[in-house]
Every structure is written in C-alpha cells, then in structure tokens.
C-alpha cells in the first residue's frame, strides 16, 4: 500500500539510456552546447561592462582579419594540433597523459642540442631532419618513463606525468641560466637560432602546417585501420578483454606513450624552429593542457581535433587582441575554453541518455 | 640547531596550503570522486579571497572609515570557500548528475579555474592601476601571531605558538575531519558511499546527497588553501600564477597520506619543508634548480614506491573514478 503510494509521488523524470542517436542530432546538441558556452562568456563580458558582440567581433578580427594575423593564428594551431593528436593516442588507451607540456619541452631541448651547437657541422636538410628526429626522441622517451612504471607496477600516471612537467620546466630554467645562456646577454636567456636551423615557409607559414595536416590523415588511419590502433582501442575499453585477446598490454602502453610524447616533441620542434627561433620557459606555454581540451572537444577524432585546434587558436589570438582594445585580460581565452569544454562534457549526457516522463511510461507499458 | 628550528617553522607555514588542498581532496575522494581540479579551485579561492577584502577595503576607505582586519579575514575565508565550492559544484553537477568523465572534468576545472584566477587577478590590477595589493591593516590580520607567554617559550614557542591563524585553522580541520571520518555515523556513511555506492544505496543512504555535499565542502576547503597562497604566501598581492603547482602537489599528498587526514599533517609539513629547503640548507655550488625540482622528484619517487608495495587497507576508495548510475546496477 505504502509502496504504491510512494511510486506515484516518485520522481517524474526518469533517465534512460539512448541508442544510436542520428549524426545530425549529435551535431545539433553540440552546436547548442557551444552556443551555451559562448552565451555564458557573453554574460561574463557583460558583467565587466563591455558589449559582448563588439568583443567577440574584435576577437574574430584579431584572429582572422588580415593575412598577418591569420598566419599568427595558424602558427598557434599547428603545435596545438600535433600535440592534441599525441595526447589523444594516450587518452584513447585511457592513460591520462597530462605531461604533454613536459614532453614538449624535452623535445625542444633535444632539438636544441643540434640547433644551437651543431648547426654548422652538417648540411641544412640533414640538420633539420636530425632536429625533428631528436625532438621526437626527446619527447617520446620522456613519455615512456611514466608508461614503464604504469605497465610494471600500475603507478598513478596522472600525477607522474604532471610532475615531469615541472621537472622539464626546471631543466629549461637551468639551461637558460647557465650552460645554454646566450654569451653576450645580460638576461638569462638562450641565443636565437642560426638561420640554417630555421624552417622554410610555405605560403607565409613554416611548413609544419603541411605536416600537421598529413598527421591528421595518417593518425585517422592509424587509429581506425591498423592493428596497433585496434590494440589501443581495446586496451582502453577493457583491460580484461585486451588480456583475454592476447594483446601485449605492457608493450601497447609503452609504445603508445612513446608515440604520444614523440608527437609533443615534434610539435615543439615546429614551435622552436618555425615560430619562436629560441627556447624559453614559455616555449610550451600551456599547449600541453590546451591540447587535452582540443582532443576532448573533438572526442579524440583527428579531423575534429583539426577544427578544435583552429578554434582554440582563434580564441587565443583573439584574446590578445581584446586585451589591447578593451583591457580584458588575455586569460579570457582559458576561461572561455574551460566553459566550452564544460558545456561539451555536459552535452554528452544528452547524447547518451534521454529524460523520460516516468508516469506516462508506466501508463502504457 | 637554530637553522633546523627555522626550517621547521618555515615548513609548517609553507605546508599549510598543501594541507588544506589535501584535506579538501581527501573528503572529495572519500565520496568516490576524484576531482583533479584542486589547482583550479585553489586559484578560484585565491582570487576570491583576495578581491573581496580588497573591495571591502576600497569601499570603507571611500566612506572615510578604516577597515577592520578581522572582518577582512572573515570575508576572505567565506569568499574563498564559496569560490572553491562553486568550482566543485560545476564538477559535481557534471560528474554526479550528468555522468561526465571524472578525470577530464577535473582537468577542465583546473584549466578553467587557473584562467579565471589569473583573469580576475589581472583585471583587479587594471582597476587598481598597476597591481592589486591590500593595505597594512588587512595584511596584518594574516601575520604571525604573538601569544603572550606561550610564544616566548624557548624552542617550543617558535615551533608551536607563533603562526598565523590559518595554520591552527588547518590543523584543527585535519583533526576534526579525522574524527568525522572514523567516529561519526555520517562519516562512516560517506566512506560506504565511496567504497561501494550500490551497497550504500541499497542500505538506504542517499548517495547523491552525500557525494554532492562531500565534493562541494571539499572544494571549499581547497579554495581556502588557495586563499592562503594569495593572502599569506604572497602577502595580499596578486601574483600571476601564484598557486603554481600547489594544487597538484596536494592531489599527490592525498596518496602519501593514504586518505588519512591526520597523516596529511605530516605529509604537508615534509613537503612544505621541501619547497623552502633552498633558503635554509644552501649547499654552495648547487644550482637552485635542483632544489626547485625536489618536491616534484620526491613526489615521483613516493608514487613509485607506494605503487610497488600496495596494501589493501591503504588503498583509494574503491569507486573513485567511476560514476555511480543507479539505472545501470
């Protein structure tokens, strides 16, 4: 009796798992989430006493308004995209690599060994090639360290990779204060790269952008069409299934983390040799973390990451512009990316579940 | 001897924000939620804890009155708690109600909170025309205390009785949380939720309410830890990126203190000591970067050591990282 009464007053809304939502509806929900995030951002801008439309328009103009700023936007997007692809490999395996920042810096330092000290000992194409390989090796090996301990003892990789970020940063500080300090400089900073160690340009931007596009296609196929990609997916879905299927889990973890770190290191070479022409504490500048948001916004799809990276690059570039025009601090881009990702994470729920009026359901079973 | 005494006192001061962050995260994880947004919540607490007293000071000075240090300190406490709790509420809504991935949501909270803290920090600087700094009256509310009689005892006085009020606040909080988790019904229920939400639910415990409460209060405590950074560590001045890694160290300290608030006291003092070692035990010729690397390198070593010898009673609450969904039992 009591039980029946309770059912009537029970929750009206019921959560039910939803199967196979059409692609169009998925994009509709994501579009709504993005709009929600931009509206929340608009509220914040409004609260600071500015006109949101004017601020957003200024952001777009600052990021896409002229060929010069468009080139700058692409320069931000390239390392971000390559790092995001790297991060996504680990995330697909449910290995929480938040150490891309450190892997990026180690890639930069490894490439710097050749770019700073060996630039006059080999022909230019060889030098660039060696720098790329060194960058990948530096980032890759740095990524393999936590993977080894994770595979062997199950050491918490989230904190391990994160702590390695700080250690890499301190290493760069050490190098710029001592051994690698520019000889004539009063400040602790490294010298500028020799012209021979700088990347050539295609359509006004270093050729890293072509490489990034190639990598998008390459890793789309790697993840969806190759044995190794399949092994990553299975290990991520269920470690038990992977073990049962005879997948060498430890090997997969270490190999994938090498690739993940290597991509971050590769991105660093493009940043150093194509954009900054030196190494500083700010060389990575948070790209390892932004890459995580880019990867997750795209639900780990390489083509989606291309769109997400360009979008975030527009935000970053645009917030530099609004800092000068409106005196709105440039950290606005981080706040906005955070908001967008919050909305994206929230909207997944509405793709996987639907809300059902439980009273109506009970009436017609 | 004197150096060691100074080091110990400095370690306690430097360890207090770590302790608060660790306590907040312990409470959160006890409910089966890993919130990797500690760094973000600390940033949110840091800016809220600085800006509310800052505006209070501006307003009272404009009105021709003089601001009270105690009122300012209470406002900082309340504002930082609210800001951290707000961050945790976003996290809780996404993970508990909307079943979003805990790791990614926490990371996003860190990015968002870091951005928000620096954003308003710089904004406050623009408002103040340069950088935002508090006046003497409000700053002195966070200075070390001098307790008549007790603070003058040799050695013990320096070691125990001359810190700012937040140190004592954090220690009492740790002991209270220890008691709460072990000795009270609510605490035991909370632990049951964290270990096995389905069983707790079947036993009639409202798991959702417990999880939300623990996550939000835990986030608030992290926020207070962030306020310590902006009010004590940088003494009332906004420094860009002032929390810089303390939130992440706190997450690691949860593991070293094996989810035990009382042990967190010890872990926090040790790591506080590691962060200030350079000032008290300088070794000639050693690059300062070696010292700066220490807390992070030691963290890694302890992570590895604790993963090699895992014991059953020293483990993370079992349902951590997994969202509980009633309909999927």
Q: For chain A, what are the domain ranges?
A: 72-317
Using CA atoms, how far residue A331 sits from A344, B122, B242, in Å, is 20, 9, 14
Residues 6+ apart with CB under 8 A from B67: B53, B56, B57, B60, B61, B135, B137, B138
Nearest to B13 by CA among B219, B171, B244: B171
Please answer yes or no on whether A178 and B114 come within 8 Å at the CB atom.
Answer: no
pLDDT score, position A146? 97
Chain A hits for B98, CB-CB cut-off 8 Å, are: 345-346, 348-349
What's the rounded Cα separation, in Å, for the pair B75 and B71?
Answer: 6
Which residue is closest to A14 within chain B, CA to CA? B327
pLDDT score, position B39? 96
pLDDT band of B314, cuts 50, 70, 90:
low
Q: Write the pLDDT tens digit of every residue in B101-122.
A: 898 899 999 999 999 999 999 9
The 10 Å Cβ neighbour count of residue B150 is 13
Token code pair at residue B286: 């050693």
Class of domain A72-317 (CATH, top level): mainly alpha
pLDDT band of B326, cuts 50, 70, 90:
confident
Q: The pTM is what?
A: 0.91
Q: How many helices (H) and strands (E) does chain B have?
A: 13, 0
What are the pLDDT tens digits along chain A (365 aa)? 344 444 445 567 777 777 777 888 888 898 999 999 999 999 999 998 899 999 999 999 999 999 999 999 999 999 999 999 999 999 999 999 999 999 999 999 999 999 999 999 899 999 999 999 999 999 999 999 999 999 999 898 999 999 999 999 999 999 999 889 988 888 889 999 998 999 999 998 999 999 999 999 999 999 999 999 999 999 998 889 999 999 999 999 999 999 999 999 999 999 999 999 999 999 998 899 999 989 988 889 999 999 999 999 999 999 999 998 998 998 998 899 899 999 988 998 888 888 877 665 544 44
Q: How many helices (H) and strands (E) does chain A have?
A: 15, 4
Contact between residue A350 and residue B134 where contact means Cβ atoms under 8 Å apart: no
Chain A hits for B307, CB-CB cut-off 8 Å, are: 149, 153-156
pLDDT score, position B311? 63
Contact between residue B207 and residue B217 where contact means Cβ atoms under 8 Å apart: no
Q: Give yes or no for residue B66 having a pLDDT over 90.
A: no
pLDDT score, position B222? 98
Give burial (CB, 10 Å; 0-12/13-18/19+) of A260.
buried
Nearest to A285 by CA among A324, A334, A327, A321: A334
Q: Write the pLDDT tens digit of every residue in B137-190.
A: 888 889 888 888 787 888 887 788 889 999 999 999 999 999 999 999 999 999
Average pLDDT over all residues of chain B: 91
What's the rounded Cα separation, in Å, for the pair B47 and B242?
Answer: 10
Chain A hits for B327, CB-CB cut-off 8 Å, are: 15-17
pLDDT score, position B312? 57
Token code pair at residue A223: 């993840």
- Among residues 171-210 of chain A, which lie with CB inside 8 Å of chain B? 171, 173-174, 177-178
Mean pLDDT of B21-32: 96
Nearest to A309 by CA among A285, A293, A333, A332: A293
Token code pair at residue B223: 């926020």
Chain A hits for B111, CB-CB cut-off 8 Å, are: 289-290, 292-293, 334, 337-338, 341
Nearest to B41 by CA among B93, B101, B97, B115: B115
Residues 6+ apart with CB under 8 A from A253: A93, A95, A147, A150, A151, A235
Of B93, B293, B327, the CB nearest to A170: B293
Q: A130 CA to chain B: closest CA distance, Å? A: 29
For an interface test with A, the pick among B109, B112, B118, B297 (most A C-beta atoms closer than 10 Å) comes out as: B112
Q: Write the pLDDT tens digit of every residue in B8-21.
A: 999 999 999 999 99
Nearest to B320 by CA among B28, B32, B99, B30: B32
Tell me A226's DSSP state.
S
Which residue is closest to A295 within chain B, CA to CA? B104
A17 membership: H or E segment, kind and range: strand A13-17
Of B111, B112, B119, the CB nearest to A329: B119
What's the rounded Cα separation, in Å, for the pair B107 and A217?
Answer: 27
Give burial (CB, 10 Å; 0-12/13-18/19+) of B107.
buried
pLDDT score, position A2? 45
Chain A hits for B252, CB-CB cut-off 8 Å, are: 159, 163
Domain spans, chain B: 2-328
Please answer yes or no on whether B300 and A164 come within 8 Å at the CB atom.
Answer: yes
What's the rounded Cα separation, in Å, for the pair A37 and B216?
Answer: 23
A155 membership: H or E segment, kind and range: none
Please answer yes or no on whether B303 and A155 come within 8 Å at the CB atom.
Answer: yes
């Amino acid at each position: 009796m009591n039980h029946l009464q309770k059912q009537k007053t029970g929750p009206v809304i019921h959560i039910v798992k939803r199967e196979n939502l059409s692609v169009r509806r998925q994009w509709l929900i994501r579009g709504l989430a993005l709009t929600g995030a931009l509206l929340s951002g608009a509220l914040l801008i409004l609260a600071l006493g500015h006109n949101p439309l004017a601020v957003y328009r200024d952001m777009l103009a600052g990021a896409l308004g002229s060929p010069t700023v468009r080139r700058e936007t692409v320069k931000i997007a390239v390392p971000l995209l390559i790092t995001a692809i790297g991060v996504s490999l680990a995330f697909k395996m449910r290995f929480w690599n938040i150490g891309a920042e450190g892997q990026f810096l180690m890639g930069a330092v490894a490439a710097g060994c050749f770019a700073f000290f060996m630039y006059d000992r080999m022909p230019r194409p060889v030098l660039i090639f060696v720098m790329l390989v060194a960058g990948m090796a530096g980032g890759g090996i740095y990524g393999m360290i936590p993977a080894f301990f994770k595979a062997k003892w199950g050491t918490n990789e989230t904190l391990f990779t994160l702590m390695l970020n700080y250690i890499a940063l301190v290493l760069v500080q050490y190098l710029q204060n001592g051994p690698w300090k520019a000889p004539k400089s009063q400040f602790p900073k490294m010298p500028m790269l020799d012209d021979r160690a700088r990347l050539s340009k295609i359509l006004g931007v270093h050729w890293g952008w072509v490489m990034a596009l190639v990598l998008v296609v390459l890793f789309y196929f790697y993840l969806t069409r190759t044995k190794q990609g399949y092994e990553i997916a299975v290990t991520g879905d269920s470690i038990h299934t992977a073990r049962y299927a005879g997948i060498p889990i430890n090997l997969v973890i270490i190999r994938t983390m090498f690739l993940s770190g290597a991509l971050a290191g590769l991105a660093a070479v493009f940043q150093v040799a194509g954009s900054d022409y030196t190494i500083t504490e700010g060389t990575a500048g948070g790209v390892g973390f932004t890459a995580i948001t880019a990867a997750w916004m795209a639900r780990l799809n390489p083509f989606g990451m291309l769109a997400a990276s360009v979008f975030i690059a527009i935000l970053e570039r645009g917030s530099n512009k609004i800092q000068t025009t409106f005196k709105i601090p440039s950290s606005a881009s981080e706040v906005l990316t955070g908001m967008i990702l919050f909305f994206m994470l929230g909207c997944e729920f509405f793709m996987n579940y639907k809300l059902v009026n439980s009273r109506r359901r009970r009436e017609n079973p | 001897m004197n150096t060691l005494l100074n080091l110990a006192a400095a370690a306690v001061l430097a360890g207090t924000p770590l302790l608060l962050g660790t306590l907040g995260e312990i409470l959160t994880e006890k409910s089966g939620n890993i919130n990797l947004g500690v760094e973000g919540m600390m940033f949110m607490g840091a800016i809220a804890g600085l800006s509310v007293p800052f505006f209070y000071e501006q307003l009272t000075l404009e009105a021709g009155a003089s601001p009270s240090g105690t009122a300012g300190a209470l406002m900082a406490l309340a504002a930082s708690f609210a800001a951290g709790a707000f961050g945790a509420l976003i996290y809780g809504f996404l993970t508990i109600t909307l079943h979003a991935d805990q790791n990614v949501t926490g990371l996003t909270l860190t990015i968002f909170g870091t951005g928000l803290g620096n954003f308003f920090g710089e904004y406050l600087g623009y408002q103040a025309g340069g950088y935002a700094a508090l006046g003497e009256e409000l700053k002195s509310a966070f200075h070390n205390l001098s307790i008549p009689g007790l603070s003058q005892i040799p050695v013990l006085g320096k070691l125990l009785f001359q810190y700012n009020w937040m140190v004592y606040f954090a220690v009492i909080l740790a002991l209270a949380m220890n008691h709460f988790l072990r000795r009270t019904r609510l605490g035991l229920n909370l632990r049951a939720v964290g270990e096995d939400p389905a069983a707790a639910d079947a036993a009639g415990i409202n798991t959702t309410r417990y999880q939300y409460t623990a996550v939000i209060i835990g986030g608030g405590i992290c926020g207070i830890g962030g306020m310590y950074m902006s009010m004590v560590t940088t003494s009332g001045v906004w420094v860009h990126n002032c929390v810089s890694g303390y939130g992440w160290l706190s997450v690691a300290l949860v593991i070293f203190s094996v989810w035990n608030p009382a042990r967190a006291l010890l872990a926090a003092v040790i790591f506080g000591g590691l962060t200030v070692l350079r000032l008290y035990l300088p070794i000639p010729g050693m690059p300062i970067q070696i010292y700066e690397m220490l807390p992070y390198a030691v963290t890694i070593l302890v992570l590895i050591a604790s993963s090699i010898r895992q014991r059953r009673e020293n483990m993370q609450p079992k349902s951590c990282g997994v969202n509980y969904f009633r309909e999927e039992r």
